[in-house]
């Protein structure tokens, strides 16, 4: 026991600068991990806690590798490489999170999502974040190669050649989504808080985050989060339910009403439907009146359309439900029948 203690004391007295640096980084992360995790200013506590747990896990791994490197001190065991590799990954994660938080503070903007104000990324901040992420990945990859002494790759091809080889061998897994993310962010076609629909994927929800490879969408029907590849927003038709320079956002509900109901009755009925729905759900425009139009004289009914203006796109499904419910409840009062009239009747044979 005394020999082991003497050995530990001797090792502690002869620590290298990298080992002191490792201990200092461990202490820094231990003391300020909570502040680092909260740099993004998110209301989503689950995501903040996940980031905090990741930091603690990295920190514990680095500290354990640091202790092992002190105890083992065996040339046949790669204790220093393990310790330095863990430190490299921890520093890379720290740099990315701190840089991402500072970019968000400097270039982010305040928006209102589902009734709560949030400070979110802009096209500039997300583009800069992706650039920082790329630099961190490349730098940490080259550093790990040097730590483990497999520099033959770099000596043969050089840093640029290694980077080209890395991109070529892994491009099928990430390049398409990564480039799609840059195009989406730089084009400002979608951003956090936008309500979008991808009909081919049966997705309709609120954009919560556009990541490097995937976009996270909160489903408007079930309320859970969905992650879709970034290229899905470019390769599929994507509807954006938001205010734009083309004018206020509009939505509509169609009704099939029989030919026996005249225009005045239909107009009064649909206006009453709109007013009833407006009392029971928020999100309809207070400044604009709805429009009623005849869209089709079909074989068995007339298709009327109630077009209305929406001030809160994330309430679009609730508004549709409220209008359909009001239309059902007001049928008897306005003597309107929404059931589709039959064209053919079965005739019993004699």
Best-predicted range by mean pLDDT (210-219, 262-271, 338-347) = 262-271
In a domain, 148, yes or no: no
Per-residue pLDDT at 183: 82
What's the pTM?
A: 0.60
Closest CA to 203 of 182, 229, 164, 184: 229
In angstroms, rounded to a whole number, what is the distance separating the alpha carbons of residues 243 and 133? 32
pLDDT at 123 > cutoff 80: no
In a domain, 305, yes or no: yes
In angstroms, rounded to a whole number, what is the distance separating the alpha carbons of residues 122 and 120? 7
Q: For the chain, what percent of residues have pLDDT higher than 90?
A: 25
Measured in degrees and rounded to the nearest 5, phi and psi for residue 248 equal -65, 155
The last residue of one of the domains, among 82, 107, 132, is 107
Are the beta carbons of 81 and 148 closer than 8 angstroms?
A: yes
Domain count of the fold of the chain: 2
Per-residue pLDDT at 50: 78
CATH number of the structural domain spanning residue 308: 3.30.70.100
The last residue of one of the domains, among 86, 107, 128, is 107
Residue 273's pLDDT band, with cuts at 50, 70 and 90, is very high
In a domain, 309, yes or no: yes
DSSP string, 26-72: HHHHHHHHHHHHTTT--S-HHHHHHHHHHHHHHHHHHHHHHHHHHHH
Give the model confidence (pLDDT) of 290-318 as tens digits: 999 999 998 889 999 999 999 888 889 99
In a domain, 48, yes or no: yes
In a domain, 44, yes or no: yes
The number of helix segments (H) and strand segments (E) in the chain equals 10, 10
Best-predicted range by mean pLDDT (86-90, 157-161, 219-223, 259-263) = 259-263
The last residue of one of the domains, among 76, 107, 138, is 107
In a domain, 182, yes or no: no
Please report, in angstroms and rounded to a whole number, the separation of the first and last CA atoms in the chain.
Answer: 109
In a domain, 215, yes or no: no
**Range of lowest pLDDT (38-42, 132-136, 264-268):** 38-42
Per-residue pLDDT at 345: 46
Q: For the chain, what percent of residues have pLDDT higher than 70?
A: 74
Parent domain of 304 = 250-334
Tell me how many degrees the CA angle 14-77-64 measures, rounded to the nearest 5: 65
Q: What is the mean pLDDT of the chain?
A: 79
Which CA distances in Å does 105 have to 129, 177, 222?
Answer: 12, 26, 32
In a domain, 273, yes or no: yes
């Amino acid at each position: 026991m005394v020999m082991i203690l003497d050995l530990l004391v001797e090792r502690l007295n002869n620590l290298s600068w990298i080992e002191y640096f490792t201990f200092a980084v461990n202490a820094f992360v231990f003391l300020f991990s909570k502040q680092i995790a909260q740099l993004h200013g998110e209301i989503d506590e689950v995501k903040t806690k996940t980031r905090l747990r990741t930091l603690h896990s990295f920190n514990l791994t680095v500290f354990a590798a640091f202790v092992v490197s002190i105890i083992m001190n065996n040339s046949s065991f790669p204790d220093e490489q393990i310790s330095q590799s863990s430190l490299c990954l921890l520093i890379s994660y720290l740099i990315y999170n701190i840089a991402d938080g500072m970019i968000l503070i400097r270039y982010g903007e305040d928006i209102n999502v589902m009734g709560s104000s949030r400070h979110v990324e802009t096209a500039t901040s997300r583009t800069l974040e992706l650039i920082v992420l790329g630099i961190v990945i490349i730098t940490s990859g080259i550093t790990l190669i040097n730590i483990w002494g497999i520099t033959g790759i770099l000596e043969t091809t050089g840093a640029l050649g290694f980077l080209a080889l890395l991109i070529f061998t892994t491009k099928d897994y990430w390049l398409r989504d990564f480039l799609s993310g840059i195009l989406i962010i730089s084009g400002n076609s979608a951003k956090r808080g936008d309500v979008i629909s991808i009909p081919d994927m049966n997705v309709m929800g609120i954009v919560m985050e556009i990541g490097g490879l995937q976009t996270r969408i909160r489903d408007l029907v079930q309320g859970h989060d969905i992650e879709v590849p970034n290229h899905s927003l470019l390769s599929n038709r994507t509807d954006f339910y938001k205010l734009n320079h083309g004018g206020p956002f509009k939505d509509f509900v169609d009704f099939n009403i029989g030919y026996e109901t005249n225009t005045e009755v239909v107009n009064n009925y649909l206006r009453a439907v709109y007013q009833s729905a407006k009392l029971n759900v928020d999100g309809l425009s207070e400044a604009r009146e709805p429009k009623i139009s005849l869209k089709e004289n079909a074989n068995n009914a007339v298709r009327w359309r109630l077009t209305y203006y929406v001030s809160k796109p994330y309430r679009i499904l609730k508004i549709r439900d409220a209008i359909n419910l009001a239309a059902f409840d007001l049928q008897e009062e306005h003597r309107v029948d929404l059931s589709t009239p039959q064209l053919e009747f079965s005739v019993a044979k004699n």
